[in-house]
Chain A
Amino acid sequence: MSDLPKNYISEPGLNGEGVEQPAEPLVLIEMIQRLKVRDVMTSKLVTVVRASPLREVQSLMKAKRISGVPVEEGGRFLGLVTINDILRALEGGYIDETCQKHMSTKLVVLEDDMPLSFALRYFENYHYGRFPVINREQKLVGIICQRDINRALLLELANELNRLESEWVLSKATAQPYNLYVLREFPVSKYDFENAGKAANKIKQILQEKKFPPKVIRRIAVAAYELEINLCVHSDGGSLSWQISNGRAEIIATDSGPGIVDLEWACKDGNSTANEWIRSFGFGAGMGLVNVKRVADEFEIESTVNVGTRVKAVIYIDEKQKDES
């Protein structure tokens, strides 16, 4: 913290309404969760030092067509000079003074490994034009403005549309009852209780719209929700993917650690490594995997300590699948 300007804030405003994600399509929610700030920010930074005159900053802004220049010395992020600071300097007649006296130090920063959804919430809560981005070592690594976000989202949306189009063609060619497109992985962040469960809720809504049998929907939704909560509670972050084809629903949760030491123990009723904080959200009773096994027709789990865990639950929609298995 000592490397940062005073009044540094790294948490989103608690009172802000945030982005109304639930009303957005799952693809978009997935996108803003999957993309990290570092994927979107500008990392080729133009910086100045405290002794730089404001006039130099003004020239830089004009030449580079930017509206904010970070003040940095030896990797230490010290402040930001914005176009408003320059306008005030021109009006006040102190444009030849140094940045040190006039730079903004009451700064809100983003961290590079935050999901893009955090950045969107910051823009909504704080109404700033840009945010400096720091890394875990609290060094300045980039700057992000709304233009960067628009550009990144448009690119991702174009890719997503191409993918959906090709899948749609494929699904038409192999049309069968209860065949749906494959949904790409839905990322789940560690301890992100604000978003955990959204994928499962959306999966249920889609299956209801497609008029799948209610009992099957319930089983798929329970398996997806339990696995999603497990990723949030126990993993270092991972993803939930699902697909429905050939009369069967497959839900797969994959994470990148920490892995399960004793799989047999973890799959037994009531065994859990969850702490009190997790229990305060109503989870961590050690029933998650047990419940997934209960609702699934097929259940597979594999885990390697310090590598990760993969859980697959299959639910038959078509009763014929049961006979064939």
Chain B
Amino acid sequence: MKIVADTPSPLTALDRPNSYIGRAVPRPNLGRLTQGRAQFVSDVTLPRMAHVAYLRSPHAHARIVAIGKSKAEHAKGVIAVVTGADLAKVITPWVGVLSHLKGIKSAPQHAIAVERACWAGEAVCAVVARTRAEAEDACELIDVAYEELPAVTDPETALDPQTPVIHPELGDNLTFERTLDAGEVDKALASSDAVIETTFLFGRHTGVCNEPRAVVADWNAGEERLTVYHGTQAPHMMMNLFAKHLDLEEHQVRVVTRDVGGSFGIKVHTYADEMATVALSKLLRRPVKFVADRIESFVSDIHARDHRVHAKIGVKKDGTITAFVIDDLTGIGPYSVYPRTSGIEANQVVNLTGGPYACPNYRARARVVFQNKNVMCQYRAVGHPIATAVTEGLVDLAANAIAMDPLDIRRKNLYPDDAYPATAASGLRFEKLSHHASLEKIADMMDYKALRAEQERLRKRGIYRGIGFASFIEVTNPSAAFYGVGGARISSQDGATVRLDATGAVFIHSGVTEQGQGAEAVLAQCVASAFGVPIERVRVVTGDTDNVPYGGGTWASRAAGIGGEAAWQAGKALRQNVLAAAASILQAQADALDIVGGIVVDKGTTRERITLDEVARICYFRPDTLPPGFQAELMVTRHYVPRAWPFAFTNGIQASHLEVDTETGFITLLRHWCVEDCGTVINPQLVDEQIRGGIVQGLGAALFEHCLYDERGQMLNGNMADYLVPMAVEMPDMEVGHVVSPTADSELGAKGAGEAGTAGAPACVMNAINDALRPLGAKPLTEMPFTPGRVLAALGRV
């Protein structure tokens, strides 16, 4: 691994003395994570705690005729056997719709299936026992009589009149449809020198977390309070939902989220089995634990992607892109997932396609349909990999049609760097992007000309290497426009409370959460810099709805940009308060003082006036010595939400260099580059690792990951041997570069960086494969994942 250059960014308002902004500070939680002293939900053990296992439907669609549970009830260690009907007495069903996704519809989903199971893997009965093993043993004794119903599995025919309707009360299998028509598409296409049309297919896949989903629910009847230890990205959102569906007030619910072993968007949704576990605790008046095993994770963790996009691009001989047209179809399982809905990914595909390019003519349709497969919802880089692959795939096909270099066609059409603010054809508004600076930087980093020359030389020896690019935009730092306006109680604002302790150290309590991505490091850096203490003197508290400000949590690349800004502002405010106290002690002017390295100094100097522990000692233990009327306030809270822009868009470009073995169809990834612009880089090491990790997940989508189903709705490869996650051996070296265009919406200027890697990687791999195979006359590959079999088929070898 490369050591990240620890270079401070140019001097800005953020450059307080000894600033940590822009430095690769080690994350404060490294010690506990590497010494096995983290506390994951899987580690939580409470007195009287029982374990639940769920019996899951083996059928994709079946009526539950009867559930015989008496044998299971009498099995060793069993505390209760609970059906969906039993549990419905304590928990209400939910419907995953949002009012700003016009026309979206879904059916009520129960915590445990009632009457009907709608996908293979949906829980139909719960067994609560002393141990998980006993619960699993008893599951085998439950006798469920099913009447199998026809399964709707193929999105292409889901809307046909002869296809059964999964939820008859909805009238059809259409969840959501969106259309968009901007500019003059038909005229633009008619005036084009070439129009290229193709279909892109994206495999259904899932985010495989190191730690599976886990929840421990503890209903304390004595204080009428529910405590939920939950591996989630959004503790306050879950607090609201637990209260809402269990007939409780929000203040009766506490969600505790300590360490989380990876999320990737998987853990920001409402899962029926987790809701059921919480309801079981209330029903049984004791703590109940559920930890998904790997097999049930594959059939119950949300899946994502699975889009079919018919797409078209028009181009003129001079390289001008005239229009983009897409028709997207995606199947999302039998329910729209609550509360964020399963319409967002298709909606994002419509929003983002063509996004980097200044082309005013754009027509799109997206249809989201129900099917009897596991539910789909938002996973890292929601919609971005689809939109980016469609856009960049089309741009490369257009370039090829007019014999133009792929970088030149991008130079011709990307929004100029001085064109901002700008509004895209889809209506997205961009504050400040840097497509061209990013492109020139990546061309330089990879030595593009030399790579092309090498490619030419090697082709003569029968070695086929390809170079592929993908420019992209990424949605980060969402305002209320994402969910709040649609009626979901998902906070877009976030807060930070900072407190000077009695020895001069600082606590920060933040509403964003740590999923392993390093949010705690970023929060500590912001507070340490804004307040003026060594970072070792900052202690970070997250993930406890009783003890942190109300906030959204971690999703849509918001933790650093939004949570970080709140922390920065809170740190500044606490500095003012502490300086006011110091000034009153020192009989000085507060604005002539500063805090540097944990010591109050004369501003602009390092001349020590008083230490923080002395200020704290006086304020906490000898306030009687302070002037009358002066009250020290050593704890402050600040909140932040983006207001000027609905989203802080970031941008960047990725490049892939790979080699195709034309005899075997195998693809060897040689190298990967990414230049991205997330505004102010708070911690270059964490940003680069977010980019790299994101790229790896994108490479998984491009080459390996695929939830394979048969036509009866059975998942065929739901285990770690057959579902291929990307592994280190197959991954290339990745080089990450940055262009910095801070957002003016916050003082910090930081945008998100969590999803850029995933957004662009599949597209540039696709383009690199097609670049490699072009001289062989292969039909361009547009169906992911690009397996050896598909490459061989494109080459006509099988």
- Please indicate whether A and B come from the same complex rather than being unrelated chains: no
Query: Which residues of A line the B interface, CB within 8 A?
Result: none
